[in-house]
Structure 1
Amino acid sequence: MKPRTPAAFDRLDLLERRLCQRIARFSLYRPWLGTLRLASKLGDWLVWVALIAAQPWLQEEGGLTYLLQYSLTALLAIAVYRLVKTRLCRERPFITFDARIICLEPARDRYSFPSGHTMHAVMFCVLTGAHAPTLLPWLVPLTLLIAVSRVGLGLHYVSDVIAGGAIGYAFAVTSLALAG
């Protein structure tokens, strides 16, 4: 038996459908589609694992501490993310609206809320900004591209991305405050 989606998501889906369609239409342009696919792949932990592993080399003092902080924050964020995602069960836009929103990248699962890619991108961008701000000119555009890619590839609603970003920000700020 399929879990029931909260009624609020049903209304929100209808409100966001046209915006998602418009954003996804830009993905019909091959160079933009390639950019979104690359950003999405980079958001599949590749960049974040490298960033975590690089902390001892990026930070003269406390690099191992930052490695541990980033790792623990990421693990906790994943646990909360999975709990929220499996409890709220919001169908992805390409499932809800069938052919009206095209999925341009394989989805890992059926549900879209919140965007885990965006959550991790924002979380690591904020953490890195606090410890290695010289990397922000690279990470901020990547974070924005990852967020846009989720909607542009038909995998998420805009509100999924906003919620994922807010959750990632909250985890990063909390982590920084506790470590502070």
Structure 2
Amino acid sequence: MELNKSLPRSELWFNKADRFELSLCQRLNRMGRYTSVRLFFKSISRLGDGVFWYTLALLLPLTMGMEGIAAVGHMTITGLLCVAIYSQLKNRLVRQRPFISWDEIRAHTAPLDLYSFPSGHTMNAVNFAILFSVFCPPLFWLVMPFALLVALSRVILGMHYPTDVLVGATLGTIISTGSLLIWPNGMFASMVM
């Protein structure tokens, strides 16, 4: 893709940004050609579908009692909000997945739908990682690296552009921290008291 120097400065900047993002997307996606890398990130992505988060959520009531149930309730509400928001955005913004738009990018896993913006996996991963870290602080060292791996997996597997992941992470952060600003002790803290 060659730059047309007669374009307005803002358009030139966006063209450069697009080229940088595509280049980064291609470099990360090429890592998937190695079987061990591809299988590792496919596993991470699959766990990020919900298996990892649901398993941790089921353990909270067993280890924390009513506080765990209240935390799971809070996470359930914010998780459903994440799904509602990213579903609406994907269906309105209709940004095709990188492997659909670019021959150089390979799909290393099956997509859940056609559209990529924003990354729902990343949005949920960041939302849950923040909430698990607040409600059960010892889990921070497990959930934060896992959320980062989920985000990375989505680009390596050819499902998302880096900006899809960045916006997904931003929205997940806004939803989780926003919920904690409104309910500092959790939505269902009154159940515990």
User: What is the TM-score of this pair, normalised by structure 1?
Assistant: 0.88
The answer for the alignment partner of 1:118 in structure 2 is 122
Name the structure 2 match of 1:108: 112
- For 1:43, the aligned partner's letter is G
Match of 2:10 in 1: none
Instruction: Give the equivalent residue in structure 2 for 1:38.
Output: 43
Aligned to 1:175: 179
Contact 2:82 2:120 in 1 (8 A): no
Q: 1:48 aligns with which of 40, 49, 53?
A: 53
Superposed, 1:74-89 pairs within 5 Å as 74-89=79-94
Amino-acid identity (%):
37
Task: Specify the alignment match of 1:148 in structure 2.
Answer: 152
Q: Deviations over 1:30-55 (max 9, x none)?
A: 21111101100000111122222222
Answering whether residue 95 of structure 2 is matched by residue 90 of structure 1, we say: yes
> Counterparts of 1:58 and 1:118 in 2: how far apart (Å)?
27
What does the per-residue CA deviation read over 1:105-163, in whole Å, with 9 as the maximum and x for residues that have no partner? Answer: 01111100000111111111100111111112211221111111000001100000000
The 10-residue stretch of structure 1 (14-23 or 85-94) with the greater mean CA deviation from structure 2: 14-23
- In the superposition, the TM-score normalised over structure 2's length comes to 0.83
Structure showing greater Rg: 2
Distance in structure 1 (CA, Å) of the matches to 2:63 and 2:128: 14
Give every structure 1 segment of 4 or more consecutive aligned residues whose post-TM-superposition deviation is greater than 6 Å. none
Counterpart of 1:143, as a letter, is A
Match of 2:137 among 119, 133, 136: 133
Amino acid at match of 1:57: L
What 5-or-longer segments of structure 1 have no aligned partner?
1-9
- 1: distance between equivalents of 2:96 and 2:182? 35
Question: Is the CA contact 2:96–2:115 (under 8 Å) kept in the aligned structure 1?
Answer: yes
Deviates more, 1:162-171 or 1:50-59: 50-59
Extract unaligned runs of 5+ from structure 2: 1-13, 185-193
Deviation of residue 58 (structure 1)? Answer: 3.3
What number of residue pairs does the alignment pair up?
171
SS in 2 for 1:74: helix
Q: Residues 137, 115 of structure 1: CA spacing in aligned structure 2 closer, same or farther, 3 A cutoff?
A: same
Q: Hey, what's the Cα distance between the residues in 1 that align with 2:68 and 2:183?
A: 13
SS at match of 1:102: coil
2:110 partner SS: coil
Which residue of 2 is the match for residue 18 of structure 1? 23
